[in-house]
Structure formats: structure tokens, C-alpha cells
A and B are shown apart, each in its own frame.
Chain A
Amino acid sequence: MLFAQTLRATVDPAPASDLVRRASRGDVAAFDALVSTRLSASLRLARAIVDSPVDAEDVVQEAFVNAWRNLRRLREPDRFDAWFGRILVNTARTHVRRRGAVRPISIDRRVDDGREDDTPSHHDPGLESVVHGDALGRAIDRLTVDQRTILALHHLEERPVAQIAAVLKIPVGTAKWRLHAARQALERALEAER
């Protein structure tokens, strides 16, 4: 997982669980240390779900502040990353839904009058998408927030399906099905982009 990889690659003199314990007692410096080693991976995951780098930063900030606020509710410090990952994903999905900024885009790119729509979907001002240089990036833009989320958790974060199910609070079977459906949607979106 990216989170774990990031943690391994970072020289962190204090074990994460110790930092979590200190942070839960109000030690802001300890929480800063937790943030610094997770910021990059958090931004990457948030950006996979939301529509713009600016939104991703807002989401990451909100997620870390939420984590700080509720840190005392975390039962096991060793589970901080799993716990925070869930906060981050939920914050990102809520952010997108709150803004109403994401909606499924017609795969066949036909406008209502049946004409072929030459306007790139990411130019829709309501979407605030970032123009990607490649078709796959644009295809990801076409997905729903739920599709992006589950694909990001699986392919970017490399989380096993059971863990994805836990994060999304859905049965494992449902997670598998949604992952499969999201993958199919991405394939269709990619074809539409080509």
C-alpha cells in the first residue's frame, strides 16, 4: 500500500503508535509528524477521488483536522493508518457530493439533441476538472466518485478487497462487484476517449 510504502521510506524516529498516543494527548508536534509522513500519499488518494488539486488539498486538510479532533476515539494507535484512511476517503466522497461537482458523464458523448459532442467533458465548468494529457486520465474523470474511489483504493493504494470493503462499509462481495463494475466503466470511458 502506498501509505505503508511511504511510511517505510520515511525516516521517522518515533514509531507511529507512539506519535498517535502523544497526539491523542494534545501534542501538536507529534501530530505534525504523523501528517508529514502521510501528506504525499494522502494527497494522491484524495486527488484520485476529487476533481482538482485544490479540492484534494481541502479534503486532506479537513481529513487531518477531523482525525486530530477525534484522535481520542481511536481505540488502537497501531490502527491509525487504517482509521485515517477511512476518514480521508469519507471526507473526499462527502466533499464531492457536497459540492455536487461530480456527476456521471455520458460515455458516448452525445448531447441531448443527438449530435456528437466535441467538447471535452473536463471543460464542463460544473466539473472543475483538470485537463489530463492522456486518454486514461480523461477516462477517470468520467467516472462517478464511487467508481473512482474503489478503483483508487484498489489500484493506487493497492488495498485488498476485504480492506476496501471495510473502508467503504460494504460487504466483501459487494466490493468485488463494484470493483469489477468500476473497472468496466473505466474501460468504456477509455474507449470513448479514444
Chain B
Amino acid sequence: MNERTLTDTQIKAAFIARSEGSIGHDLAERIHAETSRTRQASRLTVLPGGVGENPNVGRLLWAAAVSATSLALVGGLLLAGRQPDDQAVVPPSETPVATPSLTPEPTGNAAESPLPSEPAVPNPADPTATPANVDPYPSIDVDSAAVTFVGDLRVRSLPTVDPSSQKLEPLLPAGERLLVISEPVEADGYVWYHVMPFDSTYPAGWVAAGSREGEPWIGADDPSCPASPLDSGTLSSLGAYGGLACFGREDITVYGVVTCDVADVDYTINGPSWMSSAYACSFILDDSQYYFYLDGIAVEIPTIQTPYDVTGHFADAQASTCEWVFDPPAPDQDEIEAMCRSNFVATEWVNVPID
């Protein structure tokens, strides 16, 4: 065999000739159509379900990024709404806050509104008045799921109706699932919970647990949690924070087809060792992917999509080391750490042979 029979030019010409017929008439249009209906993932992770484009979601888009339907867990929606040049996102400190009203009537009756500051009805009451009936809502644990009982529930940047607390948009609808990320706080006659909505189109922040008269606006959600082992589709169906709410730090095993790629990620949150992995792995679902982190698992790239039993956990201990390392303003630290806790961290995986 004579290795000099071929020249570089000939090989190049052969490849170019090979591409003849690859016209791609309407390819640009098809790509346009597909991208138009595809959400971009956040900076933090690879999430396909990523960040919403709704400019109002700015506050912690990241937190929401992974909606229940879009699957994944992700660590990073954060960033979506946090891009420094995203003028659509209004930092909490830059938004004028209307004078709070304590007695709006969203339902038309005398009942207090779920919007502790919604100025729907003039309120003569003193916003700082001592609450007549604070308490009484059953406590909801941190990292547990809650659900809204009423619609148009206001999310605020701080647990107070004081003007320093920004009113965030959009309002939460009834039935919205929330992840409780810190202990409740009592202020202005309300019990406030710091929450991150499962649906990324809604902002993370503080919501009042109920009216001052004792009408509950949110309560503990009672999801039917699956048992381990479970398949990746079931895990994904739990929503963005469902895995954390259901399993906490418990080790679970998830079965699914896994693929990994190089994680060319611009991290905005840093801290845990597993967040520094050079690879991003995910379960392949029917129309999406569920991403997870690797802790001590070696990966060879590119991986062929293969079924694995992946064992891991949520609420990893290193989540407390998470810190914002991107441009300011940084999101609330509790939200950053909660986002880190909501990530599934794989510690072991076993290839499952296909029959």
C-alpha cells in the first residue's frame, strides 16, 4: 500500500463532494422554530428546562428554573434572571414599593387578602399594629413542600409589609407548590415563609402563611412520594424540588438511561466539590433531561447513552458551602443553599446490562 496515493486536497475534495445534496432547504426555518419554543438553560447547569424568559421572574429565576414539567433539577436557574445585563430583571432594591395595605379583599368579602400588601382596597389600618391572631398555622419544615390554598398570593423580598420589602411579580396562583427553605418568621401580624415555587415562572421570596384572622393561605403539601428505587421519569415528575422534599438526605437509587458531556459551565454558584466536576450527566427522558451532579464518580467522555442504577441523595452536606461567585447582586443566601440542596448528587452508579 502506498500511503502517498492520497493528498490532503483530494481528501478535502472528497469530503466536500460528500456533502453535496446536503442543501438544508428549510433547515434554518426548522432550527428557528425549534429554538423559538426551547427554553435556554441557566448558566449554572445544563438544564434543558431552564430559565423562563419572563422578565418578572427575575428575583430567583434560578430557583425556579426547573419546573415540575420541565424536569430537572438543576442547580442553577439562578442565573437566568440574574444576568447583569438583563434589564428586564428588576433587582429588589430598585423597585418602588407601594404603601402596604393590610386588609385587601381579593374575594370581595371582609376576609383579609392573601396579599399582605396589595393596595386593592384602601387600608386605614396601621401596618405595624399588633396582630390579633398570629400564629396558628401548622409549621412547615424546611426543605418540605408547601402549597398555596388561595390565588393571587403575593411574594415579597422580605418578610414584612414594610416598603423595604419589594413586591414581586407575578402573584402565585392557588395550588402552586413551594419549597420551604427557612424557618418561619413572624412580622407585621403575619407568619412568613421563605419559599421557592416549583414553577420557575414565579419568584422566590417570602409569603404570608395566612391572614391575621387565621385563614390559611398556604399549608404543608402532602405529595405521594415514591419509594426507592425509582425510575428517572418518576423522579422527574416530582418537580424541581420534589426530590428534596420527598427524600431529603436519604440515599435513593434511580434507574435510567444516562448520558454525560463536558460541562462547559460558567458557574455562578460555587462551593461543593461536586459542583466543580468537569462533567454534566443527566437521565435521558422522553422529551427532556434530568441533570445531576457527580461526587467521586469517574466519567469517560463521550458517554454512550446507557442504563444505570444511580445512587445518590439530595440535601448534600456541602450545600451549606454554596456561595454566589457571579456578578452582584447576589440572591439571598438561603435561596442559594436551598438550590444546592435541591440537586441530586450521585455517589455511585452501576451499569445495567441490556438484555
For window 244-287 of B, CB contacts with A under 8 Å fall at 259, 261-266
Residue of A nearest to B4 (CB): A187
Chain A residues with CB under 8 A of B53: 26
**B-side binding surface: helix, strand, loop or mixed?**
loop
Tell me the bound Cα distance from A155 to B11 in angstroms. Answer: 6
Chain B interface residue count, CB cutoff 8 Å, equals: 55
Tell me the bound Cα distance from A139 to B262 in angstroms. Answer: 32
A186, B11: Cβ atoms under 8 Å? yes
Chain A residues with CB under 8 A of B21: 53, 130
Contact of B31 among A21, A65, A69, A158 (CB under 8 A): A65
Task: Give chain B nearest CB distance to A176 CB in angstroms.
Answer: 15
Tell me the bound Cα distance from A94 to B301 in angstroms. Answer: 11
Tell me the bound Cα distance from A134 to B6 in angstroms. Answer: 14
Chain A interface residue count, CB cutoff 8 Å, equals: 59
B19, A186: Cβ atoms under 8 Å? no
**A-side binding surface: helix, strand, loop or mixed?**
helix
Interface string of A124-138 (1 = CB under 8 A from B): 000000101110110
Tell me the bound Cα distance from A19 to B213 in angstroms. Answer: 54
Chain B residues with CB under 8 A of A86: 262
Q: Does A8 contact B (CB under 8 A)?
A: no
Residue of B nearest to A21 (CB): B85
A73, B27: Cβ atoms under 8 Å? no
A48, B301: Cβ atoms under 8 Å? no
Contact of B24 among A57, A152, A190 (CB under 8 A): A57
Given A187-B3, A187-B5: A73 and B22 interface contact (C-beta under 8 Å): no
**Lowest 10 A-B CB distances belong to which pairs?**
A47-B19, A156-B15, A136-B14, A44-B19, A155-B11, A53-B22, A68-B35, A43-B22, A53-B21, A75-B266
**Chain A contacts to B: CB under 8 angstroms:** 21, 24-26, 28, 31-32, 35-36, 39-40, 43-44, 46-48, 53, 56-57, 60-61, 64-65, 68-75, 83, 86, 90, 93-94, 97-98, 130, 132-134, 136-137, 139-140, 151-152, 155-156, 158, 169, 183-184, 186-188, 190-191
